[in-house]
A and B are shown apart, each in its own frame.
Chain A
């Protein structure tokens, strides 16, 4: 294999220069380094400066030194937020893929790649959260290669998520291949698309649901208003609204933050796409509200609605599920993109709230107050660090690969 690659104009370029060119956005290295000195990057640098030593400390001294995890509270925000919320918010990948490929709504294609990238990085964040949170993370491959615990919900989550990460990587691969100019490989990938997408949707359904199935085994520890034998169904359905909300949010931010990446020849009517997503969001959230009500009926614990916990439950259900549904509906009706974006934020917050309730707040609700879990500074720092790394990776990729725009050599071919 020669160490000569070709650039976008099919001229041969020696390999080391090729790498530098791709990384430094075509600028000389010094200029690129200078361009990194911005205010936002200063904030990111500060987060990294605090977070990375904390990460090292966590591995050196053990998780007890860094976290408030205890014998009563074995799971904290590393599981509750990074993993359980992170995977829900990465659901935009499979929802938009389904919209474009399975339902054939071609107009959503411009937001497909950013959605899949968001999904991919969401899962990478979740898995890095796992590596921080496991007691012996170097043994992570054991479940696949050594001693699979096939009766475990976590085994199903692990296998599905692992397979889905591969699927997401394959869905991102065409963008990478276009960036590197590898035409033949790119063509081969194109033929596999629908199969990969269908596999991705199936795997997503399975593990989004299984995240909820974790808590099926703890009726004594989870507050009856949140516990349901349908937890896995709730988690799957809420992942769809989380995905929709997240995509609306991410496309709004990307449009502003990455203006230079957009193709001026190919303006995308983002407003129309977001209104279309809002329609989906309205309907899904409407159904979610009623299915949660059914869960309440099945539990038979109406009496608990009149407690403090009941008020909190009602806030989650009415304020963060029914309300965004109505806001989305109204936004579509009046073609208001601002309202759509507000409703999207509420929908995402609603899913995050539900996940945090199930895994942290309503979990161990009956334990004495002195034993309740509160995240430590170390845990918060590492959670923020992992999220920041995800954002930085998103930025790095979007600034280089054809995600927000089409590669000129591959116009119209995806």
Chain B
């Protein structure tokens, strides 16, 4: 992204909007976040240059190890995934854009509106906050790793090598957001590919960009409906799967899929005992009648 006056205003405007948005956080911690007022990030991959400043900023903000091969383009040779010490990674698309450019996209926790990991966590260690981030309470985690199974984006990573291992993933800089700051990656991005704001506003922004530049983007916002909606939204002009964004994501929230089974629990718990006791009474009656037929009184053998 070239640094001219126009872009400077764009960056300043975005930064200002993000700051205002960050300050307007509600302090009430109601479970689940309404789609409209939660924070989100719009990732415009047509603007990403693959500089990986976001990775560096993330590792610094979270006191993690430095990203692998900094400044070395060879890192893009194979598909990269996040790990216990790398909460975000940038991948290069396997396809060139329509105008022959390379495309890049950063991958991190999608902070879904209705996260599978949070609903599936047996101790509630993963929690969707109203502000947007899906936060991890390390002190509660028992290490069952079901969040890793349930997450359709396969985001949570585990510290298998440790004696007291924890789940590691992008925190959406929840602490910084709590102080009114934007996530470290969005602040560090020099090209304006990352836009931090309210989810509803960012969706509008994304639709506006598509409407105003119909040939520039694929007419789809990745994350609008994926998994029932995520906080990280992507625009692109190459297929999202080429950017290492998972393709087979349901367009509804994943916790919904377990609804049927979970709602059957109170039904079974209520109906089984009377049904079984009814069967018991019926079969006992038949048994007693048969014994009477043999001329014997019931033996009371229980």
Q: Name A residues whose Cβ lies closer than 8 Å to a Cβ of B.
A: 59-65, 67, 69-72, 74-75, 98, 101-104, 106, 134-137, 139-140, 142-143, 146-156, 158, 190-191, 193-194, 198-199, 201-202, 205-206, 209-210, 212-214, 216-221, 229, 231-232, 412-414
**Chain A, residue nearest B161 (CB):** A64
CA distance A194 to B301 in the complex (A): 12
Residues of A within 8 Å of B246, CB to CB, are 220
Question: Is the CB–CB distance between A104 and B280 below 8 Å?
Answer: yes
A151 surroundings in chain B (CB, below 8 A): 118-120, 255, 262
* A61 proximity list for chain B (CB < 8 A): 163
B131-157 residues with Cβ-Cβ distance < 8 A to A are 137, 140-146, 148-150, 152, 154, 157
The interface residues of chain B lying within 8 Å CB-to-CB of A414 are: 301-302
The 8 Å CB contact of B262, one of A60, A74, A153, A202, is: A153
Interchain CA distance A55-B275 in the complex, whole Å:
44
* Any A CB within 8 A of the CB of B228: no
Q: Determine the residue in chain A with the shortest Cβ distance to B283.
A: A104
Inter-subunit contact B280/A213 (CB<8 Å): no
Q: How far is the CA of A363 from the CA of B260 in the complex (A)?
A: 21
Tell me if A149 and B124 are in contact (CB < 8 A): yes
Are B262 and A136 in contact (CB-based, < 8 A)?
no
What's the tally of chain B residues with a CB closer than 8 Å to chain A? 62
Cα A361 to Cα B143 with chains together (Å): 22
Cβ contacts A to B, 8 pairs, < 8 Å: A135-B144, A135-B164, A143-B122, A148-B122, A154-B120, A158-B122, A194-B277, A217-B120
How many angstroms between the C-alpha atoms of A288 and B158 in the bound complex? Answer: 37
B23: Cβ under 8 A from any A Cβ:
no
**Smallest CB separation, B159 vs chain A (Å):** 8
Q: Which residues of chain B come closer than 8 Å to A70, judged between CB atoms?
A: 160
In B246-302, the 8 Å CB interface with A consists of 246, 248-250, 254-255, 257-258, 260-262, 264-265, 268-269, 272-273, 276-277, 279-280, 283-284, 286-287, 299, 301-302
Is the pair B123, A412 in contact by a Cβ cutoff of 8 Å?
no
Q: Which of B145, B157, B258 contacts A135 (CB 8 A)?
A: B145
Decide: A218 near B149, CB < 8 A? Known: A103-B279, A152-B119: yes
Q: Which residues of B are found within 8 Å of A140, using beta-carbon distances?
A: 142
**Given A71-B157, A140-B142, A193 contacting B262 (CB threshold 8 A):** no
Among A69, A152, A153, A216, which residue has the most Cβ atoms of chain B within 10 A? A152
CA distance A70 to B148 in the complex (A): 10
Map CB proximity to A onto B214-254 as digits: 1 under 8 Å, 0 otherwise.
Answer: 00000000000000000000000000000000101110001
Asked if B83 CB lies within 8 Å of chain A CBs, one says yes
- CB <8 Å contact, B142 and A198: no
- Select one of B116, B250, B258, B287 contacting A106, CB under 8 A: B287
How far, in angstroms, from A169 to B283 measured CA to CA in the complex?
26
B121 within 8 A of A: yes
Assuming A156-B262, A213-B258, A219-B250, what are 15 further A-B pairs, CB within 8 angstroms?
Answer: A60-B163, A61-B163, A63-B165, A71-B81, A134-B142, A139-B142, A148-B123, A152-B124, A155-B122, A158-B122, A190-B302, A198-B276, A213-B262, A218-B149, A218-B152
The answer on a CB contact under 8 Å between B280 and A198 is yes
Query: Which residues 182-228 of B have a CB within 8 angstroms of A?
Result: none
**Given A62-B160, A104-B286, are A136 and B141 also a contact pair (CB < 8 Å)?**
yes
Decide: A102 near B286, CB < 8 A? Known: A216-B258, A220-B248.
Answer: no
